[in-house]
Structure 1
Amino acid sequence: MKRQYASIDIARYVSALLVVCIHTFPFLEISETFNTYFIHTVCRLAVPFFFTTSGFFFFRNYDSENEDLNETRLKKALIRLFRIYLIWTIIYLPYTIFDYTHTGFHIKYLFTYVRDFFLNGSYYHLWFLPALMLADVIVYCLYKKKGLNFTLLITFILYFVGYLINVYTPIWESIPGVSFFFGFFTKTLSTARNGIFFGPMFIAIGLLLSRTRRLPKKVSLIGFLISFVLFFAEVSLYRHFGILRDLTSMYICLIPAIYFLVNYLLKINIPYRKMFAILRHDSLMIYTSHILFAKIFLALMPHAHLVVYFLTLACAQCLAGFVTRYQDQYPILKKLL
């Protein structure tokens, strides 16, 4: 039996809490500056962490001598992700319809929705699921055909292109001529934060961690702290020059920060207990369900973001607890996991 990592499951749960922060701005009334830095540094670690650990757990079972088994495992993973994505797409359909129609409906919205379903998520926070599926396929094909080093190179190039698009959007939009082509890109793909530019880099980091020896724990911790300081400085630089936006998420220093962070967590030995598996399931449920509650609470209490955060988290956790507790009694609930 493959080793279970309690530290990773705990970090997954914490990451889900950080994702809720991204969508509820909990410290906005306390300090707008602190809220901005907290979301763009600490919270921005969460989604890359999910990608990286997903890549690690998939590729640690990769058998270079049995491609049929590898493809079977990939198909099984993709089917599970697509099932979860489809279920939550249906659950969020009333929200989606409201968002598209409350200011008037236009036929072009249908084409926008189809594009978003495959590339950007059928609802805005669900982008992670199609991005993870696409990134899995890209990294799997690259690694299968060209090996680890080539995979890391190509995924970094894709990420760097996405970084230029994501971070420097205000600049591209202000340059005559360039703004026309940039507008074409945004109308076609909408964002670089997807399974083409964003996801493959972190899946590839998970692949790297699964194929190489762990760094010493102390080295990983020091590496993470240095990377995080540089990450903070990077965010400060973009804010200073006025290009930091809510959707800015592709930072260069995220790459070493995530590598060292996951390396460090993989070196922590905690005896595995059932509660850690529950945390893993809860993290997925909190991630997928929290917008159901956040949208309502933000509309009711637009100037009480910290209260909204805790209410959203409480409701999402109650739903997660319900699914975990009754999934054996009602097998349909297992489809959410």
Structure 2
Amino acid sequence: MTRKVYASLDVAKFIMAVLILVGHTANEWAHTEGIWHYILSCDFTVPTFFAISGFLFFSKIKQLEDREERKKYYKKWSLRIGKMYLVWTLIYFAFILTNWIRSGVDVSRVLLWIMRCFTQSSYATIWFLPSLWVGVSICYFLTENKINRKTIYSIVGILWLIGVLMNPYRYLVIQNALVSRVYEGYMFVFYTFRNGVFYGAPYVLLGYIVSNKEQIPSLVKSGLGVIVFQILFVAEAVLMKTYNPNSCTDMAIMMFPSVYYILILLLNIGLKSSAFTTLLRKYSMLIFLGQRLFLTAIPSVAPKSFSLAILALPQIEIYLIFSLVTILFAVIIELLSRRFRILNYLM
């Protein structure tokens, strides 16, 4: 199977991984407020990660004419995601265990964490991995079972609509007693609608749709599409936050067409693949999945004075510290992976 490399997507994933890190830093450490809070939130990043991943997966799948070969590739891809999730879980579990030993833990808390490993995530941010697997699996099985495209779009569209209504627009439907009971029961088990079923699958399907297009909109049209739908998204996000300050704006309605045009725009940018863009691809996953070491895990076991010292710094220094340390971590791990192959499971 010929492997086609999309250098522009590699560069974009790196930039978005850094933006996700900056967004988390803004919320959890720098406590940026006002217009900069919304700008640095960069809500389009995670949906675009899903869409890019879906595009790359189905771009490879469509090269395989034999059904068994496609199934073999899906299993290989799934195993890779599973190993990555397991290794990152073990790393973060060391910090979870340390805190359990320090503060004490009972059986119910341990069982709840084990359940969350399967229904949500073993640790914050790495939820992307199981959600990506679920999203790709849903779209893969739908497309492999000779279901017509309209039916596939309808099924995943309904999942997307449920996610929208149960997350950012929850206040519109939660007043119904039956909906409220169903919502509470679901949340007890799965904790969030921001997962592979209601969040990942729709954007993975978007990647599938783009991968099957014979011709995509031009650079100018896709650029205009990004501008128009980002403006509409910002307007929608402001309204959402006005009525419900806790809304997840990355599940907004206007996010979907916005991400579609972002993906098209990236594909229109003709970058030549190089060793550097390949490095950026590896760094992107290390930054995305490893940022919690510095944002949460290490501070959780460090003396309280450690966190207080960081919080006392000017905002710009807080951003620089977390960004530079996390990027340096990615560079070091990539270099070490050339000698210790097990580290490749981290990216």
**TM-score calculated relative to the size of structure 2:** 0.88
- In structure 1, the partner of 2:317 is 307
Sequence identity percentage? 26
Residue pairs, 1:109-258, within 5 angstroms:
109-145=109-145, 146-169=147-170, 178-212=179-213, 213-241=215-243, 243-245=244-246, 247-258=248-259
Secondary structure in structure 2 of the residue aligned to 1:196: helix
Amino acid at match of 2:114: V
Q: Tell me, yes or no, if the aligned pair for 1:120 and 1:191 is still in contact at 8 Å.
A: yes
Q: Provide closer, same or farther for how the CA distance between residues 97 and 201 of structure 1 changes in structure 2, counting only shifts above 3 A.
A: same
Tell me by how many angstroms 1:26 deviates.
6.6
Residue pairs, 1:31-42, within 5 angstroms:
32-40=33-41
Distance 1:245 1:59 in 2: 34
Q: Provide closer, same or farther for how the CA distance between residues 116 and 303 of structure 1 changes in structure 2, counting only shifts above 3 A.
A: farther
Distance 1:112 1:17 in 2: 31
Q: Provide closer, same or farther for how the CA distance between residues 28 and 226 of structure 1 changes in structure 2, counting only shifts above 3 A.
A: farther
Secondary structure in structure 1 of the residue aligned to 2:12: helix
Is 206-215 or 323-332 further displaced after alignment? 323-332
- In structure 1, the partner of 2:80 is 80
Q: Tell me, yes or no, if the aligned pair for 2:51 and 2:207 is still in contact at 8 Å.
A: yes
Structure 1: unaligned runs, 5 residues or longer: none
- In structure 1, the partner of 2:50 is 51
For each residue in 1:62-86, what CA deviation from the matched residue of structure 2 results, as whole angstroms up to 9, or x when unmatched?
2473111111111111111111110
Distance 2:307 2:176 in 1: 36
Tell me by how many angstroms 1:22 deviates.
2.7
Amino acid at match of 2:331: G
Tell me by how many angstroms 1:24 deviates.
1.2
Q: Provide closer, same or farther for how the CA distance between residues 58 and 188 of structure 1 changes in structure 2, counting only shifts above 3 A.
A: same
Which residue of 323, 329, 336 corresponds with 1:326?
336
Is 90-99 or 188-197 further displaced after alignment? 90-99
Distance 1:114 1:27 in 2: 25
Q: Tell me, yes or no, if the aligned pair for 2:233 and 2:255 is still in contact at 8 Å.
A: yes
Structure 2: unaligned runs, 5 residues or longer: 300-305
- In structure 2, the partner of 1:108 is 108
- In structure 1, the partner of 2:268 is 267
Amino acid at match of 1:308: I
Distance 1:120 1:306 in 2: 33
Amino acid at match of 2:231: V
Q: Provide closer, same or farther for how the CA distance between residues 333 and 275 of structure 1 changes in structure 2, counting only shifts above 3 A.
A: same
Secondary structure in structure 2 of the residue aligned to 1:92: helix
Tell me by how many angstroms 1:330 deviates.
2.0
Tell me by how many angstroms 1:35 deviates.
3.7
Tell me by how many angstroms 1:120 deviates.
1.5
Secondary structure in structure 2 of the residue aligned to 1:124: coil
Secondary structure in structure 2 of the residue aligned to 1:272: coil
Secondary structure in structure 2 of the residue aligned to 1:32: coil
- In structure 1, the partner of 2:302 is none
Q: Provide closer, same or farther for how the CA distance between residues 153 and 39 of structure 1 changes in structure 2, counting only shifts above 3 A.
A: farther
Distance 1:24 1:246 in 2: 19
Secondary structure in structure 1 of the residue aligned to 2:217: coil
Is 187-196 or 111-120 further displaced after alignment? 111-120
RMSD between superposed Cα atoms in Å: 2.4
Amino acid at match of 1:292: L
Distance 1:7 1:214 in 2: 16
- In structure 2, the partner of 1:23 is 24
- In structure 2, the partner of 1:291 is 292
Q: Tell me, yes or no, if the aligned pair for 1:13 and 1:279 is still in contact at 8 Å.
A: yes
- In structure 1, the partner of 2:303 is none
Q: Tell me, yes or no, if the aligned pair for 1:37 and 1:235 is still in contact at 8 Å.
A: no
Distance 1:101 1:155 in 2: 43
Is 261-270 or 176-185 further displaced after alignment? 176-185
User: How many positions carry a matched residue from both structures?
Assistant: 334
Secondary structure in structure 2 of the residue aligned to 1:244: coil
Amino acid at match of 1:217: L
Is 14-23 or 290-299 further displaced after alignment? 290-299
